[in-house]
Structure 1
Amino acid sequence: MPQTTPRSPKGPLVVTLIYDGLCTFEFGQAYELFGLPRPELGANWYRYETVAIEDGPIRAAGGLEIKAEKQLDALEHADIILIPGWRGIDTPVPEDLIEALCKAYNRGARVASICSGAFVLARSGLLNGRTATTHWRYAEALQTGFPSINVEEDRLYSESDRVFTSAGSAAGIDLALHIIRQDYGSQIANSVAKRLVAPPFREGTQTQFAEQPVPEERESKRFAALFEELEKKRAYTMSVPEMADLMGMSQRTFIRKFSKVTGLAPAEWRRTKQLETAKHLLEAEEAMDMENLSHLCGFGSAATLRHHFRSKYGTTPTAYRRQFQTRQA
């Protein structure tokens, strides 16, 4: 029998920039999220290339040396350009790289940075007038050096008109999953996250670091039964008094301990879960009307769903469904 070879992916071309002094962890994230072969996701998955921004050896943290597949002119064909950190926040950015980034963005490419990679975008001018983030250690330097940028240090990632930035280190995973979710929907993003053994969804506005200590293990275990029960009720309609009663606590004690375990007040956590469910249904159930969908999410009416959805995501459920279907076409 003739042998068949796996079909090459045909999706968006993701290009990761590499440079001497490469941040190894951030580069590994880029490859793991976008470059790792995923034949189970079909032929429309991302294509992936590495691009060297300069000649000479490309040495990475940890004693590695990397050979790029392409040179800087390959950015002309990229759909998404990733900048995995930068070799120093005060280190100049080559002019030919700035020119290539701006040219690619102006023709419609998306550009994204992880951690200190935001300084490359800042020096290119692509962050002027936009909201951006970076590692909390570098946020003050970014704001001081580039006052036209609205730097928000207390968030995981930010997006503004095809320009993406993420906080330090592991927040690059959250940003990548956000981009995958935009391109392929929550179900596939969750599948990728599961393979990574990573949280499938964290909002970009979530804080970079917690001021409160990590909750004791016994508290987390106590709440596991509650979360399991809530997951069974995908509408998340259980009231705070009902949750407190299930846990055998007063409402005041329950709210305090719940917030310590999750980082969110119970009502806020429940609303976030309801909205996540709504997004999943909007992507998966093309024919479901808004009234039925809103009841499945626990909102009670399409008007209530629309109000909270717009408040959270800046668009209506109908527009979100239409945009998702357009991206999938």
Structure 2
Amino acid sequence: MDAGQNVTLNRSPKTVAIYVMANFSPFHISVPVMAFGAAMPDKTYYKPILFSEKTGIVEGQDAFSIKVEHDLKSLDDADIIVIPYWPDTEQPISSDLKTSLNNEVRKNKIIMGLCLGTYVLAFSGLLKGKKAATHWAYEKQFAEQFPDTEVDFNALYVEDGNIITSAGTAAGIDCCLHLIRKNYGGAIANHAARMIVTPPHREGGQAQYLATPVPISTSDQRINSLLETIRKNLASSYSLDAMAKNVGMSRRTFTRRFHQATGRSPMEWLNHERLHFSRHALETTKLSIEEIAQLAGFPSTQSFRRSFIDAFKVTPTKWRQTFSI
């Protein structure tokens, strides 16, 4: 017997109601449908259903449409409600959906907002005074739009009471696996992860793994020359005064011009560049952590580990295990 199946073989499946909105994203809808459906060992764990505000055909993106057989009344019988997406972050939700979600949250049901589905929960007022995650590209906008919600910048997913929110699409998978693990244990969550072909467990506090853009060149040719020199010699040490002298500027002028050119202070850019190099080396080489730290220019292996964890919320070793080619 698979570990985790000792919960009970006569259990009633938990009904997972997944919201289908006009102009839905097919991929976002499919994530919870598969996670709570085909990825499970059998149908005794969850019963996914699709609901909308009205039954019938709902038109989505990219020539997709879905016939939805459940409306808002179906939420009465749901154990878990999933909002997988929202196509327009400036468009408030309907009063009927808002009322229904507020009614269900008072029953202490689990309500999940995946990716931009977090906006639906915010529009409903469910995130007031709570902590939440959303897609990294919308974090700043979300924080400004809903100042009464604490945005956990870069988190994969956040659980605050019976409300769970996640970052972008892949993090939605992590979020679903997190709930499966809570409901039925690690063995069942690992089974679902294998079926989806994804790592079985990433902590919600891990940073969204972003390939953050690094300016290759700027409009300032003297700054460009400095960037190129530093990139070729990351192992060297660099002071603010030395960098300013290299481009023939005063320290104050250099600091201002550098920020205008790159969007960062010189030392922020240097640390970012060293982390960028380190991340690439972890993914593509067999160099030891100590060797990578030295080549990147960190003063010690310990400082490298601290900087890496601060930036990505995981250790260099864990990053290599997850992303090595």
Unaligned runs of 5+ in 1: 1-6, 224-243, 271-329
Query: Corresponding residue for 2:135?
Result: 135
Q: Is the 8 A contact 2:56 2:68 kept in 1?
A: no
CA displacement, residues 255-289 of structure 1 (integer Å, 9 cap, x when unaligned): 459997995436x859xxxxxxxxxxxxxxxxxxx
Q: Is the 8 A contact 2:157 2:164 kept in 1?
A: yes
Query: Corresponding residue for 1:72?
Result: 72
1:27 to 4, 29, 46: 29
SS state at 2:286 partner: helix
- Report deviation, 1:131: 0.3
CA distance in 1, matches of 2:152, 2:282: 34
- Report deviation, 1:180: 0.7
Query: Corresponding residue for 1:265?
Result: 315
CA distance in 1, matches of 2:283, 2:108: 48
CA distance in 1, matches of 2:97, 2:292: 59
- Answer yes or no: is 1:121 the counterpart of 2:185: no
Q: Where in structure 2 are the equivalents of 1:37-56 lying within 5 Å?
A: 38=40, 41=41, 44-54=44-54
Q: Is the 8 A contact 1:9 1:47 kept in 2?
A: no
- Report deviation, 1:250: 9.1
Query: Corresponding residue for 2:250?
Result: none
SS state at 1:194 partner: helix
Query: Corresponding residue for 1:110?
Result: 110
Query: Corresponding residue for 2:199?
Result: 199
2:17 to 1, 15, 18: 15
Q: Output the TM-score relative to the length of structure 2.
A: 0.65
Q: Is the 8 A contact 1:9 1:42 kept in 2?
A: no
Q: Output the TM-score relative to the length of structure 1.
A: 0.64
- Answer yes or no: is 1:161 the counterpart of 2:161: yes
Query: Corresponding residue for 2:175?
Result: 175
Q: Report % sequence identity.
A: 31
CA distance in 2, matches of 1:258, 1:140: 25
CA distance in 2, matches of 1:69, 1:35: 17
CA distance in 2, matches of 1:10, 1:136: 37
Query: Corresponding residue for 2:81?
Result: 81
- Report deviation, 1:69: 2.4
Query: Corresponding residue for 1:152?
Result: 152
CA displacement, residues 17-54 of structure 1 (integer Å, 9 cap, x when unaligned): 1111112111010111012274xx35631111110123
Unaligned runs of 5+ in 2: 1-8, 213-275, 320-325
- Report deviation, 1:252: 5.2
Letter in 2 for 1:196: I
CA distance in 1, matches of 2:318, 2:16: 34
In our comparison, the structure showing a higher alpha carbon Rg is: 2
| Alignment CA distance shift 1:85-1:43 (3 Å) | closer
Q: Is the 8 A contact 1:9 1:43 kept in 2?
A: no
CA displacement, residues 52-103 of structure 1 (integer Å, 9 cap, x when unaligned): 1235631122211100121110001111000011120011201111111111
| Alignment CA distance shift 1:103-1:9 (3 Å) | same
Q: Is the 8 A contact 2:25 2:61 kept in 1?
A: yes
Letter in 1 for 2:315: A
Q: Which has the higher contact order (CA 8 A, sep 6+)?
A: 2
CA distance in 1, matches of 2:109, 2:15: 10
SS state at 2:123 partner: helix
CA distance in 1, matches of 2:162, 2:200: 22
Letter in 2 for 1:10: S
CA distance in 2, matches of 1:219, 1:156: 20
